[in-house]
Amino acid sequence: MWNATYGVLGSPTSAFYNIYVASAITIQGKSYISSSIMLFESFLANNVKFNSLNEVITFINNVKSERTDRKFDDRLILDRNITLEECFFKLMNTADPLIWMPTEKEMMLVWEYLMGVSQEDINRIYYKNNLYTFCELQPIMDLIIKILCELDINVINTGEHKYKTEFAFMNANEPPELIKEDIEALTTIIKEYVYYPHFYTDKLDRIDYMQRDIVAISDTDSTIISFDGWYRFILDKVYNIDMPIKHYKAKMYSLVKQDEFGDRPKKKMYTRVQPTFDYNFYTDEVIEKYQRMAPMEIIPQELLRYSIINIIAYICSNLVVDYLAKYCRYAGSERDDGTKCFMVMKNEFTFKSVLLTNHRRNYADIQEVQEGNMIPNTQKARLAVMGLTGSPFSIAI
């Protein structure tokens, strides 16, 4: 309905035509999406670079302004205090050499400014937008591994019936009960140490010229981001760790079979396996070959991959909701009745691969999961083509 309303506002033949309102809606939507892009690029890759000395000082001051909201003691989270040299190098390394190359005088000003900053602030400045370095810390990595090891078949007793729930983290919007407490703790810690809840005034310009590392595709109401770096990073840490999720595979037919109402059942038929002998958790080529031989099975590698990806997807979903709520507050569009912000971005699809072109809204993707439901492993069901001409089934990905 609202799309149709927007359409008539921008159509000169409509009685409700108003080019100013239509333009305002377009720019507002672009502003929301660009804010989300800035968040993902900065949080996941520290890829929003400094273009001037003023931006470096603003970044430092913004981090210092978060003191009143801090809840964690660095002594319980960090393994050591960050040195002044490390913090300075991290800031200077974030400068964009194609736009701004700091002079010796400018670097000296940053160094002298950091000398007057407390040790706690030095620690926080260093870890802001520094996700992978932060997750290398032993308490954080132990918590991530604990979450993956907790994923197991959960037997729930309702008094009348006992039933088993699926244990893999398949839906990034609904974590299994067994990991809820720990993933909330992980989200809270990362939100305080890594998440940078401040806005970039030139975000509309940046999304047109910046080289993106994370956001592959952006549309009017969606953003497709790559978690491949995160998956490889965590997989390398858990490759040799035994965990329940590595000992099960699921039959695909139990996921796509419909009941008399046309709904897909949530239960999955799991079979116990020995991953050490049956599967290779590191070589994608081996997995690809197995999937071609047994396309109706979900193997442990896939269950592990979805779970690893959905940990960061869950965290990002929480952060972007908080980010957009702040955006509405600063833009003066927050409701006075205490109602939560209606600007919500959630994880909907998990793509296996995407074919990109030089044109906007021209791409093809292979979809694997939609909101926790496996998509049948057939070309017709999984291949989605957006804007590309010709037969979608003649495209090789």
Strand 383-386 and strand 373-374: the pairing is: unpaired
Q: What is the pLDDT of residue 137?
A: 96
Tokens for 349?
A: 């699809």
Cα(86)–Cα(78) distance, integer angstroms: 15
Which letter does DSSP use for residue 349 in this model? E
Q: What is the pLDDT of residue 256?
A: 45
Three-class SS string for 245-289?
HHHEEEECHHHHCCCCCCCCCCCCCEEECCHHHHCCCCCHHHHHH
205-208 long-range CB contacts below 8 Å, 24 or more apart? Answer: 206/34, 206/38, 206/48, 207/34, 207/37, 207/38
Position 20 scores a pLDDT of 75
Q: What is the pLDDT of residue 255?
A: 44
pLDDT at 257: 46
- Range list of H helices, 294-342: 300-330
Structure tokens at 327: 């955006």
Looking at residue 95, the DSSP 8-state letter turns out to be: B
The DSSP-derived string for 114-180 is HHTS-HHHHHHHHHTT-HHHHHTSHHHHHHHHHHHHH---EEEE-SS-EEEEP-S---TTS--GGGH
Tokens, residue 15: 């009685």
Q: Residues 43, 44, 45, 46: what is their CA dihedral angle, to the nearest 10 degrees?
A: 10
pLDDT at residue 254, rounded to an integer: 46
CA dist., res. 148 & res. 243, Å (int):
7
Classify residue 20 by its DSSP letter: H
pLDDT at 155: 56
Token code pair at residue 209: 């010229």
> What residues in the chain have per-residue pLDDT under 70?
1-4, 6-7, 153-167, 220, 251-297, 334-343, 376-382, 389-397
Residue carrying the six token digits 């965590």: 234
CA dist., res. 201 & res. 327, Å (int): 12
Q: How far is CA 328 from CA 30, 128, 204, in A?
A: 14, 23, 17
